[in-house]
Amino acid sequence: MLSFFLLITTGTVLLALPISSATGKAVSVLDALFTATSASCVTGLVTLPSYSAWSVFGQIVILALIQIGGLGVITTLAGIVISMNKRLGVRDRVMLADALNLSSMDGVVRFTRRAIHGTLAVEAAGALMYMTVFVPRYGLKGIWVSVFTAISAFCNAGIDIIGSDSLCEYVHNPIINGVTEAMIILGGIGYIVWWDVLRVIREARVKGLRCLCRLTLHSKIALISTAVLIAAGALGIFIFEFSNPLTMAEYSLPQRLGASLFQSVTTRTAGFATIPQQNLTNPSAVLSLLLMFIGGSPAGTAGGVKTVTMAVLMASMLASVLNKSEVTLFDRTISRATVSRAAAVVSMSFIINFVSILLLSMVADASIADVMYESVSAAATVGLTRGLTPALNFAGKLIITATMYLGRIGPISLALAFATRKTAPDLIKSPTADISVG
């Protein structure tokens, strides 16, 4: 919590400098704070247009905040220390394992090194592919636009320096859509899944084993949950927007499918938009709220309560309904501690969303649909907006700023607290009593 607070504070100071403004006149401290929080928490909501309000220096500051915020402050600092060939102490390794949401500190240094190298490699590849579109259009500036967009996409930030309508202009561009979707999914799936999939591929080459069942339980849940949510989300958007004259009514069938897929992927906390969110039908908006709330997978750059968390909670609910004593997934029993952590994360996220919606509805002159969309987008660090953020008043900006911060660190910090702090067993237990629930 402190590391993100310090990162946001540093970013606010830098963005409040006149050199960060495109006009040479310093922006307000509140707008600097809002932008620094959004970038550090890889959310993507902005009160000022990123493409015109900030100078090159300001955009560099924002991109640095996105990169550090996506990897995590502790992970970034540890990576710098590791690159200097210095050893990390036991306490540093424990903290790093917590930051990466790992169950132990075994191999944490190697994991960190591979995560940073993998991140830079994927971002470089994405930037090169973006250049095939942006360089012909913007010239040399297209290189900077490509690098900025690639890092923002991989870190699931959703901030761009292209224009006021995000990627709406490129709704039918297969390169922009495909690369952005791939970057979002790779960043959001989590590094744990990366290395596990690569391990299985390597074993398949060496030992001739071609069974995906050799993936760890975490990877199976993350991959299947991600695939199901993306497919279900795309199908829902396709159905709900098929005849909407404000979005897809004039598109061909392949174009509708492409736009639906992108909307489903970007709601996994990415924040880029190829469809104006304010033009979505009510069912599409509600479906997007659910996808935003769930988000990506653990140990990645995405936000939300995470796919694995929801899968564990759904399995727990099913076990209760079927009167089973154990919670199981893929023939493996899930520990009670894990189920409790999942319930705690989802409950805390719900509270953050509810309080944010309540407070924002008090100060914002907007419909409840727009308020809910903005609040959930902020709490899940998504960045999709129905146009409310730029019109927020002073109190509204503070509420969304706090929501982005709590959404980024709240559920994660709570889960880590449950996972790493063990108390001595109680020698005296209170009497058991039955109560009615449900």
* pLDDT of the residue at 37: 95
Token duo for residue 52: 């015109």
* Element containing residue 250 per DSSP (H, E): none
Q: Give the C-alpha separation, 280 to 31, whole Å.
A: 28
Q: Is it the case that residue 127 has pLDDT exceeding 90?
A: yes
> How are beta strands 327-329 and 332-334 bridged, if at all?
antiparallel
pLDDT in tens, 151-201: 999 998 889 999 888 899 999 999 999 999 999 999 889 888 888 888 888
pLDDT in tens, 26-52: 999 999 999 999 999 888 899 999 989
Structural contact between residues 72 and 100, judged by C-beta atoms closer than 8 angstroms: yes
Q: Give the C-alpha separation, 12 to 195, whole Å.
A: 35
* Element containing residue 8 per DSSP (H, E): helix 2-15
DSSP 114-165: HHHHHHHHHHHHHHHHHHHHHHHHHTTHHHHHHHHHHHHHHTT----SS-TT
Q: Name the maximum alpha-carbon separation found in the chain.
A: 73
* pLDDT of the residue at 232: 96
pLDDT confidence tier of residue 417, bands split at 50, 70 and 90: low
> What percent of the chain stands above pLDDT 90?
57
Task: Please classify residue 337 by burial: count the beta carbons closer than 10 Å to its beta carbon, then call 0-12 exposed, 13-18 middle and 19+ buried.
Answer: exposed
- How does the average pLDDT of the chain come out, rounded? 87
Structural contact between residues 263 and 184, judged by C-beta atoms closer than 8 angstroms: no
Q: Is it the case that residue 135 has pLDDT exceeding 90?
A: yes
Which of 416, 424, 405 is closest to 9 using CA atoms?
405
pLDDT confidence tier of residue 106, bands split at 50, 70 and 90: low
Buried b (16+ CB within 10 A) or exposed e, 171-194: beeeebbebbbbbbbbbbbbbbbb
Contacts of 93 (CB under 8 A, 6+ apart): 105, 108, 109
Q: Give the C-alpha separation, 311 to 411, whole Å.
A: 16
pLDDT in tens, 282-309: 999 999 999 999 998 887 788 888 999 9
Q: Give the C-alpha separation, 43 to 34, whole Å.
A: 11
Asked which of 91-95, 290-294, 336-340 is least confident by mean pLDDT, the reply is 91-95
Terminal Cα distance for the chain, rounded: 35
pLDDT confidence tier of residue 394, bands split at 50, 70 and 90: very high
Q: Is it the case that residue 99 has pLDDT exceeding 90?
A: no
Q: Is it the case that residue 205 has pLDDT exceeding 90?
A: no
Q: Give the C-alpha separation, 4 to 8, whole Å.
A: 6
Q: Give the C-alpha separation, 34 to 10, whole Å.
A: 13
pLDDT confidence tier of residue 214, bands split at 50, 70 and 90: confident
Q: What is the dihedral of CA 197, 303, 225, 281, to 10 degrees?
A: -140
Q: Give the C-alpha separation, 188 to 108, whole Å.
A: 20
Three-state secondary structure call for residue 398: helix
Residues facing 332 on adjacent strands: 329
Three-state secondary structure call for residue 166: coil
pLDDT in tens, 265-275: 999 888 899 99
Cβ of 350: how many Cβ atoms within 10 Å?
Answer: 13
CA dihedral over 201, 153, 273, 288, signed as positive or negative: positive
Q: How many residues does the chain have?
A: 438
